[in-house]
Chains A and B, each alone.
Chain A
Amino acid sequence: MNKIFSRPDTLTDAPTHFCPGCTHGIAHRIVAEVIDEMGIVDRTIGIPGVGCCVFLYTYFPIDVLEAPHGRAPACATGMKRAQPDKIVFVYQGDGDLAAIGTSEIIHAANRGENVTLIYVNNSVYGMTGGQMAPTTLLGQQTTTSPYGRDFKTEGYPMKVSEMLATLEGVAYSARVSLHSPKHINQAKKAVRKAFEMQINEMGFSMVEMLSTCNTNWRVSPLEALKVIENEMIPYYPLGVFKERTGKDFL
């Protein structure tokens, strides 16, 4: 029998803390596979935000700096400027990035910091119990929008990838989804592209991943995949919003 699939070297065998059905583990796996395939594990440093992503250091056998809530892009700025030869990636959820950390992410992207952002969007604050985030869909019920999000009082869900793509410093901005094998394969290609942008010193690169939070969405794992397909993707379209091809910006 041929072995056709195994855990990537850049993932530990620690038991996962993610809820059954959550696609966050897939996000970890494809990032780890890309790090494996590119052969950069020894010089890669990860900076997770606060939330479910904070346990990155449990799963990635690499150097990790734990950042305050929302501040990972600023920490990554200091780190990459101090060590331009290292691969620095930021790993943030939507509560961390699109709410408390909007200032830090916009300015890191605008400066064209040569780091890579993995942005996991599950439309709620997962770790704290499913509160409304800036990314929560209209009408979506959460513990702090129990009557459903209303644009008249909570505004509209924030499209971070499109917004950051407008900034000159951004080399690559893409939104992918983790709800089917086909989409996971596309997601991995985007992650690889984002890391290649950093290696080629093209500027700020990011991949937004639509991910499930079946526990806080109060649905089954399979239903959660349908939620991504039928509710998230119509509002958060998949695609590449910015892709720099040459260094003519320099």
Chain B
Amino acid sequence: MSERTLTKGNIALAEGAIQAGCRFYFGYPITPQNDIPEYLALNLPKVKGVFIPAESEIASINMVMGAAASGKRALTSSSGPGISLMQEALSYMAGSDIPCVVVNIMRVGPGLGGIAPTQGDYNQAVHGGGHGDYKNIVLAPASVQEMFDFTIKAFELSDKYRNPAMIIADAMIGQFQEPCRLTPKEPVIIPEKPWALTGRAGRNPQLLKSLYLGDGEQETHNLVMKAKYDRIQESEVLYETRDLDDADLMIVAFGTPSRVAKTAIRAARLQGMKVGLLRPMTLFPFPEKEIHEYSKKIKNILVVEMNTGQMLRDVKIAAHRDAKISFYGRPGGGMPYPDDVVNEIRKALS
């Protein structure tokens, strides 16, 4: 099936969840992600799914925990302020090896901020958010098609590693429309979950917990988690490159800025500047080896983000020490324009 339908990003994501076999959604309203709960409120009952308009984002994510601990694929979505409220339970779920998918359609902050697109929650998603030594698997779609595909991918990775997976997309990706194939690229397979809490019939009692009080237990647990994150880093990096073969400058950008960068690259090349793009599709695991390798031959790197430079730090850590790294960021709802990015390219290459 290659038929494509003009679809809004948030709707593609919600339909992706249904097609991923997710039958449990719990959520609380917040702009700019309301299309997701509204679509699922209408469509989950048609597939015998459960939709609960929860009393808060705290309740939403804990309902997700209960359904996920039962072995079911469960989803919640929100935006910055609501995602902040979910951090407690995300930490518990990571610590208890419970998979789930959480969507953040990012609005500007801090605080109540506004509803314009941003990438200001990169650090929250990638570098913690909740307490303790854990990581979220983080996917960053840059198109409506990826809103659909990455949702299925997020459930797959979350189940595979028994860890929360987060999709972060700026409000632009959530709200715009593009042609989208609304069928999975590959058949969806939901793995067996012998660890699920389904009652002890026919087996020993099972427990999902994050409390470790015994001597050395917590350290052992944290090291097991670290080994899991190392496996994820080794096996699950996703990224896209464009025009890097002859490039003198590599733009690193995810989400909407990567789309703007592609336009800027075309314009820059027409003006004789050899520019390419590396777009991380997974933010954890971050394409650090790949950025390192490219930065050995492409000495100029321009990081473009819709924030004051959050992924920038990860690029600096990943890049070769001789790389010259510059940054162009628009925080607070500002959008990078292709002309602005071309100017930044020119400055970096001069």
**Do A and B share a complex?**
yes
Q: Which residue of B lies closest to A69 (CB)?
A: B88
Please, what's the 1-or-0 string for A82-118, where 1 marks a CB less than 8 Å from any CB in chain B? 1100100000000000000001101100010000000
Among candidates B55, B92, B207, B208, residue contacting A68 with C-beta atoms closer than 8 Å = B92
Among candidates B66, B96, B199, residue contacting A76 with C-beta atoms closer than 8 Å = B66
Least CB distance from A164 to B in Å reads: 14
Given contacts A63-B200, A86-B199, contact A74 B63 (CB under 8 A): yes
Interface assignment of B106: CB less than 8 Å from any CB of chain A? no
Bound together, the chains give a CA A121 to CA B72 distance in angstroms of 33
Bound together, the chains give a CA A71 to CA B91 distance in angstroms of 14
Chain B residues positioned under 8 Å from A74 (CB to CB): 54, 58-60, 62-63, 65-66
Given contacts A43-B201, A62-B200, A68-B89, contact A75 B65 (CB under 8 A): yes
Given contacts A54-B211, A103-B59, A104-B59, contact A78 B197 (CB under 8 A): no
Interface assignment of B220: CB less than 8 Å from any CB of chain A? no
Considering only residues 243-287 of chain B, those with a C-beta below 8 Å from chain A are none
Chain B residues positioned under 8 Å from A221 (CB to CB): none
Chain B residues positioned under 8 Å from A76 (CB to CB): 66
Q: Which residue of B lies closest to A55 (CB)?
A: B211
Least CB distance from B81 to A in Å reads: 16
Given contacts A43-B199, A76-B66, contact A61 B205 (CB under 8 A): yes
Interface assignment of A44: CB less than 8 Å from any CB of chain B? yes
Interface assignment of B70: CB less than 8 Å from any CB of chain A? yes
Considering only residues 28-80 of chain A, those with a C-beta below 8 Å from chain B are 41-45, 47, 54, 57, 60-68, 71, 74-80
Asked whether, in the complex, the Cβ of A78 is within 8 Å of the Cβ of B74, the reply is yes
Chain B residues positioned under 8 Å from A62 (CB to CB): 199-200, 205
Chain A residues positioned under 8 Å from B74 (CB to CB): 78, 82
Least CB distance from B71 to A in Å reads: 8
Q: Count contacts between A and B, CB distance < 8 Å.
A: 132
Chain B residues positioned under 8 Å from A218 (CB to CB): none
Asked whether, in the complex, the Cβ of B56 is within 8 Å of the Cβ of A64, the reply is no
Asked whether, in the complex, the Cβ of B207 is within 8 Å of the Cβ of A63, the reply is yes
Least CB distance from A168 to B in Å reads: 16
Bound together, the chains give a CA A74 to CA B66 distance in angstroms of 7
Q: Which residue of A lies closest to B204 (CB)?
A: A61
Residues of B within 8 A of A (CB): 24, 26, 50, 52, 54-56, 58-60, 62-72, 74, 88-89, 92, 96, 197-202, 205-211
Residues of A within 8 A of B (CB): 41-45, 47, 54, 57, 60-68, 71, 74-83, 86, 103-104, 106-107, 111
What are 23 A-B contacts defined by CB distance under 8 Å? A42-B200, A63-B198, A64-B197, A65-B65, A65-B197, A65-B207, A65-B209, A66-B207, A67-B92, A68-B62, A68-B88, A68-B92, A71-B58, A71-B59, A75-B62, A77-B63, A77-B66, A78-B62, A81-B52, A82-B71, A103-B55, A104-B62, A107-B59
